[in-house]
């Protein structure tokens, strides 16, 4: 079963976590690490029942528009049969044709920076809809056709019982962000359905419907780029009765101890759990609800215990026996949800297959399909993923993918990779990094291995964070897939603050033992004391030849805090380093000589 991730209660003492405004042209969502929010499941499409009420915008007077004080066709909502925005020449391909509602906020292509700021545009039914008088109960859904794309938009669907106070019942945050680095527009049209049964009282009276648009990042609302919209088109709004039998999947989990991997080294295989949340949006209870998985055409099959799911209730269905892959190869998981009754809307409990690979050396959280990128403007940053280790193994390299193209990583950018452990307090503790790596054109849009300058022995039953980063501008890390909150992380080097991100950066562990790390030179025998230390740290060396060397001290996040040259005689020599100016914490010392290198950790008190 899933365990609580250690990182969920990281208590970083020198590094704080807070909300971060996103960098434009990325598909990332950076959110406060301390939050316990989970990913919002995508709302599904469904074929609905009897239509109680509908509106196709043929009469604009049926709707009240509030354009937040803005005027002109290029700002706010309008209702006509012409696309007035800059993004879509032909508007929405709605099934009814004729008029439709459209949301616009300036034209950033012709007049950049002229988007209206600090606005909330609303489109509301002018008159209440009495669902009970129309013969309905609370077992109804709101359905409409839409088109557009999401950038930094917050597109919400709301209802009210008094025409004054509105509550949000749906949004488009499940849609991908469309930017220069990935994403896509909505289907044209996209049919969206929101089950209102859990919101409405048993005998609903008057209801108002509202479509609301604003920025998704109000804390950075002074940035005009956060107010760009591709447009939001609405048509054929309906309230329809819910089906009699309708199970839908609202969440799906597969993985090991809370993390899922698309590539797994055979040395790190572990039991994989499968679990879903099934919502009964129909009128009748659903007995015999059961979740099944079938791996590689029957090589493994598993099922959850059958349960009865009452109307408007959600049940968690867990396959009773985890699956542990035992051989190198590709694995395909077919999922299915069934019940004793025939489902009236089977499309919203359909699954896409899950595929993953067991191989010799690569450990990957990303799904291998590039979609967007992580960057930090002119500031340095680090971005990467957590990995659970189930067997001791030496790590020698980290694989990354850097975005190419006109808006990609700048050739000549100096980057690095790092590996962190997590200590008993939940802090990220620096373990090793690569030498600086200068990006060239052939390094872009490919899987690139970067070797660590000191191998790291990763220990079983521990979690590690692997990152790629740069101290300046120019780096754009490819994202591929989504991460459960607090499992992929972003360090802003401007304010030394960690955030978690919900896009998965292409950062992988590479356990290939043939990665060349000059291991034969690693012959420096080193002892450091006292440990913990307060004012002075002694470094005792035993080298084969008289040599000059460099002592480098790194803090817990891998930043260099002290560098000293040393001269070591043949045999044993002793060197003292003044550490009075260092803050309390855990540090790493790297000693590099002609004979090789050694690394040690110490605690400053």
Q: Dump pLDDT digits (tens) for 346-372.
A: 888 888 999 999 999 999 999 999 988
7 vs 297, higher pLDDT? 297
Distance spanning both ends of the chain, measured CA to CA = 39
> pTM, whole model, 2 decimals?
0.73
* 519-604 topology per CATH: Immunoglobulin-like (2.60.40)
- Alpha carbon distance 382, 248 (integer Å): 38
Q: Is the pLDDT of residue 19 over 60?
A: no
The answer to whether the beta carbons of residues 87 and 176 sit under 8 Å apart is no
Q: Name the residue with higher pLDDT: 372 or 166.
A: 166
**Residue boundaries of the structural domains of the chain:** 6-17+363-510, 51-241, 519-604
Same fold, 6-17+363-510 and 51-241: yes
Domain spanning 51-241, CATH architecture: Sandwich (2.60)
Q: Are 344 and 246 in contact (CB under 8 A)?
A: yes
**Mean pLDDT of the chain, nearest integer:** 87
Degrees, nearest 5: CA angle 584-496-438? 110
Digit-coded pLDDT (tens) for 512-543: 998 864 444 455 677 788 888 889 998 887 77
Q: Where are the beta strands (DSSP E) in 299-364?
A: 300-303, 307-309, 314-318, 329-338, 354-359, 362-363
Q: Which residues of 393-506 form beta strands (DSSP E)?
A: 393-401, 414-422, 428-433, 437-438, 447-458, 462-470, 477-482, 488-492, 497-501, 503-505
Sign, Cα dihedral of 485, 488, 493, 494: negative
Residue 300 pLDDT exceeds 90 = yes
Backbone angles phi, psi at 563, to 5 degrees: -135, 130
The average pLDDT across 186-200 equals 94
Report the C-alpha gap between 226 and 232 in whole angstroms. Answer: 16
Asked whether the predicted pLDDT for residue 22 surpasses 60, the reply is no
Spacing of C-alpha 459 from chain mean position? 26
Could you say which architecture CATH assigns to the domain 6-17+363-510?
A: Sandwich (2.60)
Give the model's pLDDT for residue 266: 97
Q: Which class for 409: exposed (0-12), middle (13-18), buried (19 or more C-beta within 10 A)?
A: buried
The whole-angstrom separation of Cα 572 and Cα 578 is 20
Could you give the CA distance from residue 398 to residue 466 in angstroms, rounded to a whole number? 7
Taking only the tens place, the pLDDT of each residue in 23-72 is 333 334 443 333 322 333 333 344 457 999 999 999 999 999 999 999 99
């Amino acid at each position: 079963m899933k365990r609580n991730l250690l990182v969920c209660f990281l208590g970083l003492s020198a590094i704080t976590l807070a909300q971060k405004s996103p960098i434009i042209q990325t598909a990332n969502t950076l959110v406060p690490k301390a939050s316990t929010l989970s990913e919002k499941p995508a709302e599904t499409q469904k074929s609905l029942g009897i239509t109680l009420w509908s509106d196709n915008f043929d009469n604009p007077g049926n709707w009240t528009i509030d354009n937040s004080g803005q005027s002109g066709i290029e700002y706010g909502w309008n209702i006509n049969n012409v696309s007035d925005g800059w993004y879509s020449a032909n508007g929405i391909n709605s099934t009814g044709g004729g008029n439709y509602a459209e949301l616009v906020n300036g034209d950033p292509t012709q007049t950049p920076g002229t988007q209206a700021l600090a606005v909330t545009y609303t489109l509301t039914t002018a008159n209440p809809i009495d669902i009970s008088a129309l013969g309905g109960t609370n077992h109804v859904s709101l359905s409409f056709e839409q088109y557009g794309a999401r950038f930094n938009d917050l597109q919400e669907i709301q209802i009210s019982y008094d025409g004054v106070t509105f509550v949000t019942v749906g949004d488009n945050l499940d849609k991908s962000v469309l930017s220069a680095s990935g994403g896509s527009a909505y289907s044209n049209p996209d049919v969206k359905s929101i089950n209102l049964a859990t919101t409405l009282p048993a005998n609903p009276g008057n209801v108002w419907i509202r479509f609301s648009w604003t920025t998704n990042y109000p804390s950075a609302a002074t940035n005009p780029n956060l107010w760009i919209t591709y447009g939001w088109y609405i048509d054929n709004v309906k309230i329809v009765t819910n089906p009699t039998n309708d199970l839908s999947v609202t969440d799906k989990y597969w993985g090991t101890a809370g993390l899922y991997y698309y590539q797994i080294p055979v040395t790190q295989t572990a039991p994989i759990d499968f679990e879903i949340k099934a919502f009964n949006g129909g009128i009748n209870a659903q007995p015999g609800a059961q979740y099944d998985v079938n791996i590689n055409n029957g090589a493994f099959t598993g099922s959850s215990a059958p349960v009865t799911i009452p109307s408007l209730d959600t049940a968690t269905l867990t396959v009773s026996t985890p699956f542990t892959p035992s051989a190198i190869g590709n694995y395909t998981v077919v999922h299915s949800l069934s019940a004793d009754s025939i489902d009236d809307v089977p499309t919203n409990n359909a699954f896409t297959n899950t595929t993953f690979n067991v191989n010799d050396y690569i450990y990957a959280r990303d799904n291998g399909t590039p979609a967007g990128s992580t960057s930090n403007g002119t500031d340095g940053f680090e971005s990467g993923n957590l990995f659970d280790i189930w067997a001791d193994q030496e790590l020698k390299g980290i694989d990354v993918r850097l975005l190419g193209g006109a808006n990609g990583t700048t050739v000549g950018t100096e980057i690095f990779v790092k590996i962190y452990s997590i200590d008993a307090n939940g802090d990220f503790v620096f373990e090793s990094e690569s030498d600086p790596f200068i990006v060239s054109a052939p390094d872009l849009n490919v899987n690139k291995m970067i070797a660590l300058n000191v191998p790291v022995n990763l220990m079983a039953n521990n979690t590690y964070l692997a990152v790629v980063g740069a101290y300046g501008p120019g780096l754009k890390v490819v994202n591929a897939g989504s991460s459960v909150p607090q499992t992929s992380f972003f360090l802003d080097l401007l304010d030394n603050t960690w955030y978690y991100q919900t896009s998965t950066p292409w950062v992988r562990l590479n356990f290939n033992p043939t990665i060349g790390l000059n291991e034969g030179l690693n012959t420096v025998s080193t002892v450091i004391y006292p440990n913990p230390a307060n004012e002075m740290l002694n470094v005792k060396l035993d080298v084969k030849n008289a040599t000059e060397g460099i002592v480098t001290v790194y803090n817990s996040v891998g930043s260099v805090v002290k560098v000293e040259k040393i001269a070591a005689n043949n045999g044993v020599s002793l060197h003292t380093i003044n550490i009075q100016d260092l803050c309390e914490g855990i540090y790493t010392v790297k000693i590099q000589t002609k004979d090789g290198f050694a690394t040690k950790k110490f605690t400053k008190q």
